[in-house]
Amino acid sequence: MMMFQLNQLQDSGDSRREAQRCTKREVIHPARPKANVKILALALLLLAPGLAVAQDDSFSIRFDQGQYIGLSIGAEQGLVHASPKTDGTATMGSQGELRGAADGLIARFTVIHTDEFDAVAQIDEVLPGRSLDQVNHAAIPGLDLPFIVVSSLDSQRYFRINRGWQDQSTELRHGAKGLLMTDSGAIGGLFAVVAVGPYESLGRVNDYARGVFNKDLLTGRFQSYVEQVVAGTGFANIHWLNLVMLGIGCVFIYLGISKEFEPLLLVPIGFGILIGNIPLPLQIFDAISVYMVDPVTHQYTFNTTGNSVMGLIYFGVRSGLLPPLIFLGIGALTDFSALLSNPKSVMLGAAAQVGIFSTFLGALWLGFSPANAAAIGIIGGADGPTAIFLASRLAPSLIGPIAIAAYSYMAMVPIIQPPIMKLLTTREERLIRMKPGRKVGKRERILFPISGMILTALVAPGGLPLLGMLFFGNLLKESGVTGRLSKTASSSLLDICTILLGVGVGASTTAQVFLTKQSILIFVLGCAAFAIATAGGVLFAKFLNLVSKTKINPLIGAAGVSAVPDSARVVHHVGQEEDPTNYLLQHAMGPNVAGVIGSAIAAGVFLGIF
């Protein structure tokens, strides 16, 4: 019996424990949906601003041509702006006067917004016979402030919003940001609220879209923080033209790395193309891009704000600073002995410049202005720094297409030149062997850059920045006493300038500016210029064989274009295809370096004319 009672007690204890466990499960289990509800509510709270902008919450705007000024004091000195009170009335903004140098009254104003240490005021009245140009300072007698520094504001950017605090809009507040829309529904600009009034508020256009003016802006709408974040991404601003240019940038990088086509040029330019075609939102466009929206024309122009990162890098290209520094490095690397040992090379280098002048005429025929045609024609010299230098002086808006065309064709020397060389020569001509050139003494190598600079600069003073730095770099090399300077110019300085030039030129190829009909024509003309220059050098070499007893291999005429040393290497390889024991490299270097000088002289001639 006792055992039965014990069993009953044990069973009842087990039952109580089971009941407690069930009770706990029943208490805990319903709590999970409550946690999920809290999470869902929190998510909705975070997304609420983003969901709100999905509604049609636009408002109309009007530019009233009002006049506004900035004051150098704010709420700290007692200034107030109009604001609602809890009893339904409103506080009036501080009122003051604009005075001249003699303290005479010129105009009256009302403060419409105050920060801690500055304020914005609207001019209510200008006295007859007075002008705002006569304003010397402001005064607010009611606050015993007799002298306040005044700054003018760009009144063209201020507009009225048909909403005020009486509308009880949650988005309408000082500093609120949003979009301005055109009649077609396109984004025309960005704005911020400057002041909030009872029935109307004041906004300011912070950024205009390209080609949009005040007359085009009709409505606006506020942006939540979520929408501002989304609109600030590249994905929200991507255009198919940007994708095209990103693909071109990748092709440049591929050709430089995989095919080793001018990798020191194509890799920086290709990566610069990628940088320049990441789409930028309006609010940061002027602070990063090579370009800016001109405040007057509202079209893209080179960034002159001084606070653009890529604009500062591109300044070395736009100002023409980097090409002469690159010529300094080229001069420190170049050996002019091949040219000095065979003076005929000068004529071959000059003959190859026919591509420059023929392309100049072709560009004129296609409708380009003389200055632009001259900048395009220099592509025929196959010298990137020279093309960039001349374009920066004569056609700044075409630097991007001209530079890309010049460097592209320099990289394609092994593709473009051999067919032309083989077409214009016979196998017998390609087999011609040339005698080794004479040995050039040190004194002759030192005197050449000095005399060469003086002579060429007198012929074409416009080419002095390029020619002067080229010959100066060569003098550093040949003098034998400036080894450190020569080493720096030919290595560190040259490499740094090449990187900056390549990235800067690539970054200037923003799709909306680069992909135009003009760019296509420039590439076509550039290809024609390069082909004509190659043919001109080869044909002139054949002509020299007709009038000279000492035969030269016509292939070296193709090296007259100034793609140093790639053209000379191509000549050497084409010659060795016919005769592996025929070494033309040293002979081809003469016309090659002569072509560098020739293209710089041609640039100087164009610069002097236009």
Q: What is the pLDDT of residues 461-474, one digit of tens each?
A: 999 999 999 999 99
Residue 385 has pLDDT above 50, yes or no: yes
Task: Enter the pTM of the model.
Answer: 0.80
pLDDT at 16 over 60: no
Mean pLDDT of 447-456: 94
The model's pLDDT over 308-329, given as tens digits with 9 standing for 90+, comes to 889 999 999 988 899 999 999 9
Is 25 in a helix, a strand, or coil?
helix
Average pLDDT, the chain: 86
Residues in the chain: 610
- The crossing angle, in degrees rounded to 10, of helices 517-547 and 344-351 is 150
- What φ, ψ does residue 157 adopt, rounded to 5°? -90, -10
Domain ranges of the chain: 60-231, 239-293, 309-609
Give the up-direction half-sphere exposure of residue 215: CA atoms within 13 A in the CB hemisphere: 2
Confidence band for 36, pLDDT divided at 50, 70 and 90: low
pLDDT > 70: percent of the chain: 91
Above 80 in pLDDT, residue 204? Answer: yes
| pLDDT at position 53 over 70 | no
Say which range, 34-38, 104-108, 206-210, 406-410, has the weakest mean pLDDT: 34-38
| Residues 6 or more apart whose Cβ sits within 8 Å of residue 342 | 437, 587, 590
Question: Which of 23-37, 380-394, 423-437 shows the lowest mean pLDDT across its residues?
Answer: 23-37
Structure tokens at 225: 């923080």
Q: Compare 365 and 563 and report the one with higher pLDDT.
A: 365
pLDDT above 70: residue 141: yes
Span 436-455, mean pLDDT? 91
Q: What is the pLDDT of residue 198?
A: 86
The tokens for 570 are 């191509």
What is the rounded (10 degree) CA torsion for 206, 211, 216, 221? Answer: -40
Report the pLDDT value the prediction gives residue 213, as an integer from 0 to 100. 93
Q: Which pLDDT band holds residue 42 (cuts at 50, 70, 90)? A: very low
**pLDDT score of 512:** 87
Has residue 343 got a pLDDT over 50? yes
Q: Tell me, what's the pLDDT at 119?
A: 93
Neighbours of 367 (CB within 10 A): 10
Give tens-digit pLDDT for 489-526: 999 999 999 999 999 999 999 998 888 889 889 999 98
Cis check for the bond before 565: say yes or no (omega within 30 of 0). yes
Report the pLDDT averaged over residues 427-442.
Answer: 88
Where does residue 564 rank: exposed (0-12), middle (13-18), buried (19+ CB within 10 A)?
A: buried
pLDDT class of 307 with cuts at 50, 70, 90: confident
Handedness of CA 391, 393, 396, 400 (dihedral sign): positive
pLDDT band at 369 (very low <50, low <70, confident <90, very high): very high
Between residues 97 and 40, the one the model is more confident about: 97
What single letter denotes the amino acid at residue 374?
Answer: A
39 has pLDDT over 70: no
Q: What is the mean pLDDT of residues 341-354?
A: 88
What's residue 329's pLDDT? 94
Query: DSSP string covering 407-459, please?
Result: HHHHHTHHHHHHHHHHHHS-HHHHT---PPPPPPPHHHHHHHHHHHHHHHHHH
CA proximity to 184, closest of 160, 158, 219: 219
Q: Give the confidence band of 28 by pLDDT, cuts at 50, 70, 90.
A: very low
Tokens, residue 356 = 């420059």
Phi (first) and psi of residue 128, to 5 degrees: -55, 140
Q: What is the mean pLDDT of residues 18-43?
A: 44
For the ranges 88-92, 101-105, 460-464, 545-549, which has the lowest average pLDDT? 88-92
Q: CA dihedral defined by 444, 450, 455, 457, rounded to 10 degrees?
A: 150
**Banded model confidence at residue 381, pLDDT cuts 50, 70, 90:** confident
- pLDDT mean over 168-185: 87
* Residues 598-608, mean pLDDT to the nearest whole number: 92
Residue 277 has pLDDT above 90, yes or no: yes
Q: What are phi and psi of 224, to 5 degrees?
A: -75, 170
Q: 606: closest CA among 511, 428, 469, 466?
A: 466
Q: Worst-scoring range by mean pLDDT, 167-171, 172-176, 234-238, 243-247? A: 167-171
Residue-level pLDDT at 328: 95
Higher pLDDT among residues 190 and 83, named by residue: 190
Query: Residue 316's Cα: distance from chain center in Å?
Result: 12
List b or e across 29-67, with b for residues whose CB sees 16 or more CB atoms inside 10 angstroms: eeeeeeeeeeeeeeeeeeeebeeebeeeeebebebeeeb
Strands 300-302 and 105-114: unpaired
- Report the distance separating Cα 176 and Cα 315, nearest Å: 35
Within 10 angstroms of residue 187's Cβ, the number of other Cβ atoms is 15
- Give the DSSP letter string of 458-470: HH-GGGHHHHHHH
Q: What's the pLDDT at 410?
A: 82
Evaluate whether 211 touches 202 at the Cβ level (below 8 Å). no
Report whether pLDDT(52) > 60: no
160 three-state secondary structure: strand
On the question of pLDDT at 420 being above 60, the answer is: yes
Rounded Cα–Cα distance for residues 182 and 219 (Å): 7
Quick one: average pLDDT of 97-109? 91
pLDDT at residue 246 tops 90: yes
The whole-angstrom separation of Cα 18 and Cα 81 is 70
Average pLDDT over residues 182-210: 91
CB 127 within 8 A of CB 105: yes
Question: Which residue from 554, 556, 563, 505 is spatially nearest to 529, judged by alpha carbons?
Answer: 563
Task: Measure Cα distances from 16 to 3, 21, 25, 139, 179 in Å.
Answer: 20, 9, 14, 86, 67
